[in-house]
Amino acid sequence: MNWKIGTLVRGRIVIGHEDRDLYVPLSAVNRLGMRSVVWVKDRNSNDVFHARTVQTGIRTEDSIEILSGIEVGDQIVENAAYMVGSDSFIQ
């Protein structure tokens, strides 16, 4: 192709496979420097949540990709900021 300087070009970038990608709301992830944490509901108790470290990927304006750390069936808190109180779990 002979493209000239200033020519308008349209492109499409496909990242990953939509059937395998897992995106959660950006607010669901506490980013703690080099570590990212989500709060996962305990499978045995409806009132108990545990902090779990996750590996994140691509970040969009309002969501973030989870590469590992949670699995199908896990329920996470939508806004993780509400889970961190004055007695911080961060060590």
36-48, pLDDT tens digit by residue? 999 999 888 888 8
Q: Is the pTM of this model over 0.85?
A: no
* Residue 86: per-residue pLDDT: 41
Cβ atoms of 77 and 84 within 8 Å: the answer is no
53-72, pLDDT tens digit by residue? 999 998 888 899 999 999 87
User: Chain-centre distance of CA 75, in angstroms?
Assistant: 13
Cα torsion angle, 38, 25, 22, 35, sign: negative
pLDDT surpassing 50 at residue 6: yes
Q: Which of 82, 86, 3 is nearest to 38 (CA)?
A: 82
* Token digits of residue 8: 């308008």
Domains of the chain listed by start with CATH number: 23-80 (2.40.420.20)
